[in-house]
Chains A and B, each alone.
Chain A
Amino acid sequence: MQVFHDVAGRIESRPLLDWKAQGKPIVGYTCSYLPAEVFHAAGILPVRLRGIETDGMDIGDVYFGPFICSFPKCLLQLVGKGKYRFLDGAVITPGCDSMRRLDECWRKAGKDYEGVLPGFYYYFDVPHKAEGHGLQWFVAEIEYLIAEVEDYFGVEITDEKLRASIAEYNKGRRLLEAVESLRTAESPVISGADAFSATIAGAIMPRGEFTEQMAAWLEALEEKPPIDNVQKRVMLIGSISDDLELMRLIESQSGALVVSENLCFGARREGRPVDESGDPVKALADHYLGASICPRMYGKYKQRRALIEQKIEGANVDGVIMQNIRFCDLHGAENALFERDLEALGIPCLRIEREYGPMIDRGRLKLRINAFLERIGRRKRNAG
């Protein structure tokens, strides 16, 4: 378990440095729509890029300006400071318009700061519709990506290698499903922060090591007694968040536990196992474009609301905390709809707007979360 917290807690973690010390390449990527199996099949470590450890915005603000999501700004800040010099490649995905802008800002920063633009720098396009032409387009995008990776790194990514990588990733997905069922159970044995650190680590560690560590952790959990005094079962959803401190802040309040989430660094990213039969590229396209839907996708609100409602019921959630990064139109707008619809169903909701970064809003967020949990506590007492 500790290894997951170590990996989730800093950028240059031990497993990543070990991989680099062996002379093997690392490629960073920015979004949950990228099929990491493509890089795994090429013997490359795919690492989800994060903005933790940002301690200023003197570079990010210059390229992006003040009125934009702070996540790509934090990434660029770290890039400019040389924190990501270990990367052999980077893949930028237009998860939203702010992330699309990271592509051009990083390219420009590459001219201004020597050595910060990796040799392999690729823009991986993702359509906004998961059906028909959109899916065909995405299949073609994965094929282009494979060809570029093969060409630049001098490797061959065969269907057999892709199938083997899908199978390896699926092992982790099944283990994460087991973790999900433990945290959503009536008497959870794991905290939200522990579960979240494991899912974050899954996007960073070499996958084989991740699978081994997950299996060992799950075995150890069999002996673990349930967490005491769980009175307020919380769900956390919304904008990009890989901040364990936010999870810990919620869980530091009396009797609160995050029993479910739907974040792109969390349970939503891995989802269910990928189909292991048939064409692996098509299977990856179906999974990454079709299964991990976020508000960037057109016409999926009802499907997403149904998923959230299903998770609320499955985890017996008492209240939903919806966070969004300032200027995140996608999640900001969706959170307002979720709040309207879920409150109408009698599910208490809290919407909070925050900056991405190492919990700079701690006091402000704590007050809101505190008051929200008090509301849940009162409600449960009145009902009971």
Chain B
Amino acid sequence: MSIVAGCDVGSLTSKAVIMRANKIIGSYILKSKPKPEHSADAAFKGALAAAGLSVKDIACLIGTGYGREKMEFADNAVSEISCHGKGARWLLPSARTVIDIGGQDCKAMKLNSEGHVERFAANDKCASGTGRFLEVMAKVLGLEISELGPLSGKSKSPITLSSTCTVWAQADVIKYLNSGEPIENIGAGINIAMAKRVAILANSVKPENDVFMTGGVAKNKGVVSTLEKLLGMRIKKARRADPQMAGAIGAAVLAHEAVSSKESWTKGMEFN
């Protein structure tokens, strides 16, 4: 059985996954380095070490993410939109709508019955609605990004951010902090603002059940629960693996499909 890999170099984090027989046997995640090729290299080597393998054991590796074309060891590059769709399907086979919130962009995808992306929308304007928005806000509050989500559950009176422009929202947050507003109300307001931006995007692809979230923000309970209310739909959780790994998983699944469907594997072949 061939061993395949997927590597997703994002703007904030880089992820790699090693798969055998459609099962993850090693994975690695790290904060992205300034050069995408260095991030890819570190993520891939980390995942190989976790699986106890070496480069020569890998039959095919697909790269994705903004650094997808900078991976010298990759056999091909596929857009993160296709990979997140594929990864979401692997994580939750019933997924028909995928919302992926990455470090610098946010995407909503509608999958067809075979799990292929049939329609997608991505943020066009700025950082609001992306992981970077939460990162900036967490920094202003002096918190780790993982600490933002639970604040929603503690707040009884979330603040309303007048603008979801990251810079203006940051100014608003500082104003609330200075006026002594409890931190849980500010955190909950940030999560609501984020969810509102994402809901606009998700609605533009006409979401259908099951809705699934990938990317790091899927771990923020405050954003997820607000988004559920705004969409009027439940957002399913992944149990098979970390939803932040969805892009890398999708890339590895595509690598697996390519190797399985082709007797002779050719570097650079098209398999999108």
Interface residues of A (CB under 8 A from B): 231, 254-255, 326, 352-353, 363-364, 367-368, 370-371, 373-375, 377-378
Are the CB atoms of A353 and B270 closer together than 8 Å?
no
Total interface residues in chain B, CB < 8 Å: 15
Mark out the residues of chain B between 25 and 84 whose CB falls within 8 Å of any chain A CB in the assembled complex: 66, 78-82
For residue A229, give the distance in angstroms from its CB to the closest CB of chain B: 10
Are the C-beta atoms of B270 and A378 separated by less than 8 Å? Answer: no
**Quick check: B66 and A353 within 8 Å, CB to CB?**
no
Residue B120 at the chain A interface, CB threshold 8 Å = yes
Please determine whether A374 and B82 come into contact, CB atoms closer than 8 angstroms: yes
Distance in Å: Cβ of B81 to nearest Cβ of chain A: 4
B272 contacts A by Cβ under 8 Å? yes
Contact status of A374 and B66, CB under 8 A, knowing A255-B270, A364-B124: no
Q: Let me know if B118 and A375 touch, CB within 8 A.
A: yes
* Residues B119-159 near A (CB distance < 8 A): 120, 122, 124
Say yes or no for B116: interface residue by CB 8 A criterion: yes
Chain B residues, CB < 8 A from A373: 272
**A371: B residues at CB distance < 8 A:** 79-82, 117, 120
> Contacts A364-B124, A367-B80, A374-B79; is A254 near B118 (CB within 8 Å)?
no
Q: Closest residue of chain A to B271, judged by CB?
A: A377
Distance from B7 Cβ to chain A, minimum over Cβ atoms (Å): 16
Q: Mark B92-120, 1 if CB is under 8 A from A, else 0.
A: 00000000000001000000000011101
Given A255-B270, A363-B66: A375 and B124 interface contact (C-beta under 8 Å): no
Task: Please tell me if the beta carbons of B272 and A374 are within 8 angstroms of each other in the complex.
Answer: yes
> What residues on B are CB-neighbors of A368 within 8 Å?
81, 120, 122
Contacts of B81 in A (CB 8 A): 367-368, 370-371, 374
Known A367-B79, A367-B81; judge A377-B124 contact (CB<8 A): no
Q: How far is the CB of B124 from chain A (nearest CB, A)?
A: 5
Q: Complex: how many Å from CA A326 to CA B125?
A: 10
- Complex Cα–Cα for A326 and B117 (A): 25
Closest 4 CB pairs of A and B: A374-B272, A371-B81, A370-B79, A371-B79
Chain A residues closer than 8 Å to B78, beta-carbon distance? 374
Residues in chain A near residue B120, CB distance under 8 A:
368, 371
- Please report B residues at the A interface, Cβ cutoff 8 Å: 66, 78-82, 105, 116-118, 120, 122, 124, 270, 272
Known contacts: A367-B81, A371-B82. The answer to whether A377 contacts B122 by CB under 8 A is: no
Inter-chain contacts of A370 with B (CB < 8 A): 79, 81
Return B258 CB to nearest CB of chain A, in Å. Answer: 12
Q: Can you list 17 A-B contacts (CB < 8 A)?
A: A254-B270, A326-B124, A352-B124, A363-B66, A364-B105, A367-B79, A367-B80, A368-B81, A370-B81, A371-B79, A371-B81, A371-B120, A374-B79, A374-B117, A375-B82, A375-B118, A377-B270
CB of A375 within 8 A of CB of B116, answer yes
Interface of A is mostly: helix
Q: How far is the CB of B163 from chain A (nearest CB, A)?
A: 14
Q: Tell me the smallest distance from the CB of A163 to a CB of chain B, in Å.
A: 48
B117 touches A375 (CB 8 A): yes
Q: Which of A255, A363, A364, A371 has the most CB of B within 10 A?
A: A371
Q: Bound state CA distance, A378 and B254, in angstroms?
A: 12
Q: Quick one: given A374-B272, A375-B118, A377-B272, are A353 and B82 in contact (CB under 8 Å)?
A: no
Give the shortest distance, in Å, between B74 (CB) and chain A (any CB).
Answer: 14
CA–CA, A370 and B80, complex, Å: 9
Q: Which residue of chain B is the closest to A377 with respect to CB atoms?
A: B272
Q: Are B272 and A353 in contact (CB under 8 A)?
A: no
CA distance A132 to B116 in the complex (A): 50
Most buried by A among B78, B82, B272: B272
Give CA–CA (A367, B9) in the complex, Å.
Answer: 13
Given contacts A364-B105, A371-B82, A374-B78, 15 further A-B contacts (CB under 8 A): A254-B270, A352-B124, A363-B66, A364-B122, A364-B124, A367-B79, A367-B81, A370-B81, A371-B79, A373-B272, A374-B81, A374-B272, A375-B117, A377-B270, A378-B116
How far, in angstroms, from A306 to B78 measured CA to CA in the complex?
Answer: 34
Q: How far is the CA of A374 from the CA of B62 in the complex (A)?
A: 14
Which of chain A's residues have a CB closer than 8 A to the CB of B117?
371, 374-375
**Which residue of A is nearest B116, CB measured?**
A378
List B contacts of A374 (CB < 8 A): 78-79, 81-82, 117, 272
Bound complex: CA of A151 vs CA of B38, how far in Å?
A: 67
Question: What CA separation (Å) do A353 and B105 show in the bound complex?
Answer: 15
A377 proximity list for chain B (CB < 8 A): 270, 272
Min CB gap B46→A, angstroms: 25
Whether B122 and A367, one on each chain, are in contact in the complex, defined by CB atoms closer than 8 angstroms, is yes
A231 and B269 CA atoms in complex are apart in Å by 13
Interchain nearest-CB distance for B107 vs A (Å): 9
Q: Which residue of B lies closest to A326 (CB)?
A: B124
Least CB distance, B126 to chain A, in whole angstroms: 11
**Could you say which residues of chain B place their CB within 8 Å of the CB of A363?**
66
Least CB separation from A373: chain B residue: B272
Q: Measured between alpha carbons, how far is A363 from B66 in the docked complex, in Å?
A: 8
B82 to chain A: closest residue by CB: A374
Alpha-carbon gap, A368 to B124, bound state (A):
10
Q: Which residue in chain A gives the minimum CB-CB distance to B114?
A: A382
- Residues of B within 8 Å of A364, CB to CB, are 105, 122, 124
Q: How far is the CA of A375 from the CA of B82 in the complex (A)?
A: 8
In the complex, chain B residues whose CB is within 8 Å of the CB of A254: 270
Task: State A353–B201 Cα separation when bound (angstroms).
Answer: 14
Q: CA separation between A305 and B242, bound complex, in Å?
A: 45
A231, A326, A368: residue with the most chain B Cβ atoms closer than 10 Å: A368
Q: How far is the CB of A231 from chain B (nearest CB, A)?
A: 8
Max count, chain A CB within 10 A of own CB: residue among B66, B80, B117, B270: B270
